[in-house]
Structure 1
Amino acid sequence: MMHRHLNPVGMTPPLITIIIAALNNKKTLQHCIDSVARQTYPNKELIVIDGGSTDGTVDLLEANREQIRTWISEPDRGIYNAWNKGLARAQGEWICFLGADDYFWDGRVLEREAAQLETLPSDIRVAYGRIMLLNNEGVTLYPVGAPWEKIKGRFRQIMCIPHPGAMHRRSIFERHGQFDETFRIAGDYELLLRELNEADAFFMPDIITVAMRQGGISSTPANSLRQLREVRRAQRMHGHYLPGRFWLMAAVRVYLRLIIWKLLGERVARKALDWGRRMLGLPPFWTCT
């Protein structure tokens, strides 16, 4: 177990727990673990919850045991079940979650985050920065993430906080419980909505926290639609019975993508969608993922 280090004024910096959920991620998991190991911030712990991989991931975890405080490999019921298993083992005052395909952007991410986390009042229980989107080949696309003051109203309608690498104060789970495992895609949004329905988050400016590969949920309109439906279920659970305009606008965009996908086929549809993004002054996404 890692020991706490005193900072120059004699205060103990917060222990940060990083939880990684993995399942047959041997190709990318080493990079993820290395990005944690190279963090200059000393007061950290890494927990890896593997869902019973059969591709050599378990051997990789065994080879990295000195970098990992604890790991398990057993079947689970999805990512939120894995994260809950990690939470049961976490000791940190602040906790963040990484996908096995993600990695910390540089070696000083936790050091720079911790310097800001130590200044926050106790009623701020969520802090986040920007993340860098990558395509499946690891090529940089563009950063996402905006200040809380700009997205506060929108967040209660759509998920607009980059969750990979976001910091959760331990007390958020003590107050609200763990992730709801009935969700398959939007469980992170539902957990944050429990807290941020009335409370505020803190945006850490000038920090890119995590590089996140695109694919899966973000790569097809069908998965985007599934995510939107789960987002609405989370909103109804927390008193937002009617959809807001941001959710409705997102739903219209997703249905338009589905229509274009079916009419033109995936390859042409991706080109057409990125043409539309360029017309709006946005960088390409669909032809890159």
Structure 2
Amino acid sequence: MTISIIIATYNAAKTLKRCLDSIVPQLTNETELILVDGGSKDDTNKIIDSYCDKIAVHISEPDKGIYDAWNKGVSKANGDWVMFIGADDRLAQNALVEYLDFINKQNLEYDLISSKRKMVTMDDKDIYEVGSCWTWPHCLKGMPISHPGALHNRKLFKEIGLYDIDLKIAADYDLLLRKGRNLRTAFLDMVTIIVSEGGISDSFRAIKEYYIVLKRCSELSSAKAYLLYLNMLIRFSVKTMFRKIGINLHS
């Protein structure tokens, strides 16, 4: 097994079928699909059951949020690489083929392989593409990679642990920053995931949680962490102001 895809769900019936329909046709004997549901009250689990012959693991029980669900998924994963996809995201066409080709052509001693994501409006109009390689110290300015659609070496979780479930937005950033400058990365220069705008990671709450993560970084002084936080806050405030007049800034 090469790639394990983990999807966390909770009352995701409105978007889940579209998500699964983007993934299931791409599955091969080198990939597996894991669904971890938080005890949904809508038709989420009925939708999951309708794909039961394509799903390796289906868990449905109360959890403590998306990162708790992801941790459960990692514990069930058999793949050498783990990908996380939101229940309202879509896997781009040929994404798994491209990733498998990338992996098979290289002698990979990486912790992370990232790619690009396409951001779209709620009515599915393209906005922009974003995502780059994790590099030090650029990563201290915020999450440079597209976390949805990226591949995490399963050994990374054994080395540095799982997601911190006390964090609600930035635990993915926290996980990677634990290894920081020593994180071994590669970059697949293509869109592998399609994501709708308006997620919780695009908020002032997220910036505040990034600050918590920066303060934990052993390579940063308190003053440096605060300055980086202010920089994030200013950049996000500017983007928010431009967005109100219909201009999307993403750098």
Instruction: Establish whether TM, by shorter chain, passes 0.5.
Output: yes
* 1:181-196 → structure 2 map (5 Å cutoff): 181-196=165-180
CA contact 1:157–1:235 (8 Å) conserved in 2: no
Instruction: Give the secondary-structure state (helix, strand or coil) at the position aligned to 1:215.
Output: coil
Measured in 2, the distance between the counterparts of 1:270 and 1:112 equals: 33
What is the Cα deviation at residue 29 of structure 1? 0.6
Aligned residues: 248
Q: Does residue 252 of the first structure (1) align with residue 234 of the second (2)?
A: yes
Q: 194, 202, 205: which one pairs with 1:211? A: 194
In the other structure, the counterpart of 1:138 is 124
What is the Cα deviation at residue 128 of structure 1? 0.8
Q: Which digits, 9 at most, give the CA deviation of each residue in 1:125-146, with x for residues without a partner?
A: 1001101111222222211112
Measured in 1, the distance between the counterparts of 2:193 and 2:80 equals: 20
Read off the aligned partner of 1:16 and give its amino acid letter.
Answer: I
Measured in 1, the distance between the counterparts of 2:126 and 2:57 equals: 31
Instruction: Give the secondary-structure state (helix, strand or coil) at the position aligned to 1:95.
Output: strand
CA contact 1:31–1:103 (8 Å) conserved in 2: yes
CA contact 2:88–2:196 (8 Å) conserved in 1: yes
| Overall identity of the aligned pairs, in % | 33
In the other structure, the counterpart of 1:22 is 9
Q: Does residue 235 of the first structure (1) align with residue 214 of the second (2)?
A: yes
Read off the aligned partner of 2:96 and give its amino acid letter.
Answer: L
* 1:1-289 → structure 2 map (5 Å cutoff): 15-39=2-26, 41-106=28-93, 108-148=94-134, 151-205=135-189, 207-218=190-201, 224-239=203-218, 240-241=220-221, 242-243=224-225, 247-255=229-237, 270-272=243-245, 274-275=246-247, 282=249
What is the Cα deviation at residue 53 of structure 1? 0.8
Q: Structure 2: give runs of 5+ residues left out of the alignment.
A: none
Measured in 2, the distance between the counterparts of 1:234 and 1:27 equals: 32
Read off the aligned partner of 2:213 and give its amino acid letter.
Answer: A
Structure 1 residues 68 and 190, CA gap change in structure 2 (3 angstroms): same
What is the Cα deviation at residue 218 of structure 1? 5.0
With normalisation by structure 2, the TM-score equals 0.89
What is the Cα deviation at residue 249 of structure 1? 2.4
CA contact 2:11–2:44 (8 Å) conserved in 1: yes
Measured in 2, the distance between the counterparts of 1:63 and 1:111 equals: 24
Read off the aligned partner of 2:186 and give its amino acid letter.
Answer: F
What is the Cα deviation at residue 213 of structure 1? 1.2
Read off the aligned partner of 1:110 and give its amino acid letter.
Answer: L
What is the Cα deviation at residue 147 of structure 1? 4.0
Q: Which digits, 9 at most, give the CA deviation of each residue in 1:19-73, with x for residues without a partner?
A: 0001111111111112221116441100000111111111111111011111011
With normalisation by structure 1, the TM-score equals 0.78
CA contact 1:78–1:184 (8 Å) conserved in 2: yes
Q: Which digits, 9 at most, give the CA deviation of each residue in 1:218-253, with x for residues without a partner?
A: 56xxxx222112112212222123227654322123
CA contact 1:41–1:111 (8 Å) conserved in 2: no
Read off the aligned partner of 1:131 and give its amino acid letter.
Answer: R
Measured in 1, the distance between the counterparts of 2:29 and 2:179 equals: 29
Q: Structure 1: give runs of 5+ residues left out of the alignment.
A: 1-13, 261-268, 284-289
Report the RMSD for the aligned CA atoms in angstroms.
2.3
Q: Which digits, 9 at most, give the CA deviation of each residue in 1:64-116, with x for residues without a partner?
A: 1011111011111000000011111111000000000011110x211111121
Q: Which digits, 9 at most, give the CA deviation of each residue in 1:233-288, with x for residues without a partner?
A: 21222212322765432212345678x6xxxxxxxx8433x35x5xxxx58xxxxx
Instruction: Give the secondary-structure state (helix, strand or coil) at the position aligned to 1:156.
Output: helix
Structure 1 residues 237 and 146, CA gap change in structure 2 (3 angstroms): same
Structure 1 residues 236 and 50, CA gap change in structure 2 (3 angstroms): same
Please identify, of 35-44 and 181-190, the stretch whose mean Cα deviation from structure 2 is larger.
35-44
Measured in 1, the distance between the counterparts of 2:98 and 2:28 equals: 8
CA contact 2:38–2:62 (8 Å) conserved in 1: yes
